[in-house]
């Protein structure tokens, strides 16, 4: 890993103390996903570890797709933490593909490998080996979506049979998880409003393959932005309640106004 990306990931590690960023760590030392991602390994692991976790306190055991979907959602979220987090903190976009990235089954951690990256002309890394210099912020955001989209497309095609969802639903989920990851990094580094604007700037809508936009609302009673998902994670199929940001919770809430991004 270049010193430039290592510095960026050290910053990400400090901004998000609940997420561990491994550098130079062997993904074979733990039960890590990706690197050699395949449906059987992903499915068998989650029918054990994840199904047991999800059943605690629930009225009924989870279906296979309900077990697999959170795995894919978590993978997508962590992927966006690694790629989108670097963009938000330092305006750098690492070219992480599935073989360059791994995460463990039982802890919030990521292991991005050393890869080329894209940056802006005023970045100290511009002109260094492995740096793709893009002319302006819009080009860098477009490149961010392209890198993340290419990464996730390979993973979604490998795993969609497990989760029982079509590609449009998976890409809507990807938009939700990308928004959540950008929101998490942005809130921790520069506050709620900046985070919402940044997420909407990356995902303003009509940015295929991602479906929809980074969606935030503001309660009519005041307060900061509230993230709203497009897709449901299906936890409620086990007899629980919908998550707070689930689209199924929209009815009966106070009237809300969309939060506009600054681009």
In this structure, the strands spanning 109-112 and 20-21 are: parallel
Q: Does the pLDDT value for residue 23 go beyond 90?
A: no
Q: pLDDT by residue (tens digit) across 138-172?
A: 999 999 999 999 999 988 888 877 777 789 989 99
Any domain includes 143: yes
Q: Structural domain of residue 38, as residue ranges?
A: 3-190
Any domain includes 121: yes
Q: pLDDT by residue (tens digit) across 186-233?
A: 999 999 889 999 999 999 999 999 999 988 877 666 677 878 888 876
42 pLDDT band (50/70/90 cuts)?
A: low
Any domain includes 37: yes
Q: Does the pLDDT value for residue 58 go beyond 60?
A: no
The answer to whether the CB of 113 falls within 8 A of the CB of 2 is no
Percent of the chain with pLDDT over 90: 37
- Regarding predicted confidence, which is higher, 52 or 75? 75
3-state secondary structure the chain: CCHHHHHHHHHHHHHCCCCEECCCCCHHHCCEEECCCCHHHHHHHHHHHHHHHHHCCCCCCCCHHHHHHHHHHHHHHHHHHHHHHHHHHHCCEECCCHHHEEEECCCCEEEECCCCEEECCCCCCCCCCCEEECCCHHHHHHHHHHHHHHHHHHHHHHHHHHHCCCHHHHHHHHHHHHHHHHHHHHHHHHCHHHHHHHHHHHCCCCECCECCCCCEEEECCCCCEEECCCCCCCHHHHCCCCCCCCHHHCCCCCCEEECCCCC
241 pLDDT band (50/70/90 cuts)?
A: low
Any domain includes 76: yes
Residue with tokens 């990521």: 110
Any domain includes 7: yes
Q: How many domains does the chain have?
A: 1
Any domain includes 122: yes
Residue with tokens 């985070």: 195
Any domain includes 17: yes
Q: What is the pLDDT of residue 110?
A: 82
Any domain includes 134: yes
261 pLDDT band (50/70/90 cuts)?
A: low
């Amino acid at each position: 890993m270049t010193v430039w990306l290592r510095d960026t990931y050290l910053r990400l590690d400090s901004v998000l103390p609940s997420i561990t960023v491994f550098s130079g760590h062997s993904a074979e030392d733990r039960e890590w996903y990706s690197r050699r991602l395949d449906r059987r390994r992903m499915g068998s692991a989650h029918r054990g570890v994840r199904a047991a976790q999800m059943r605690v306190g629930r009225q009924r055991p989870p279906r296979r797709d309900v077990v697999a979907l959170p795995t894919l959602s978590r993978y997508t979220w962590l992927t966006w933490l690694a790629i989108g987090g670097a963009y938000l903190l330092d305006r750098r976009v690492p070219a992480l593909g599935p073989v360059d990235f791994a995460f463990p089954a039982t802890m919030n951690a990521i292991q991005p490998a050393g890869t080329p990256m894209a940056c802006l002309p005023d970045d100290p890394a511009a002109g260094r080996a492995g740096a793709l210099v893009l002319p302006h912020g819009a080009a860098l955001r477009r490149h961010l979506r392209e890198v993340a989209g290419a990464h996730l497309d390979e993973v979604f095609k490998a795993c969609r049979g497990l989760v029982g969802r079509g590609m449009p639903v998976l890409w809507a989920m990807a938009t939700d998880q990308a928004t959540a990851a950008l929101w998490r990094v942005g809130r921790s580094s520069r506050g709620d409003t900046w985070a919402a604007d940044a997420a909407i700037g990356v995902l303003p809508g009509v940015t295929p393959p991602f479906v929809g936009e980074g969606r935030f609302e503001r309660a009519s009673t005041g307060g900061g932005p509230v993230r709203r998902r497009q897709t449901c994670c299906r936890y409620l199929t086990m007899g629980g309640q919908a998550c707070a940001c689930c689209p199924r919770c929209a009815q009966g809430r106070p009237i809300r106004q969309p939060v506009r991004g600054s681009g």
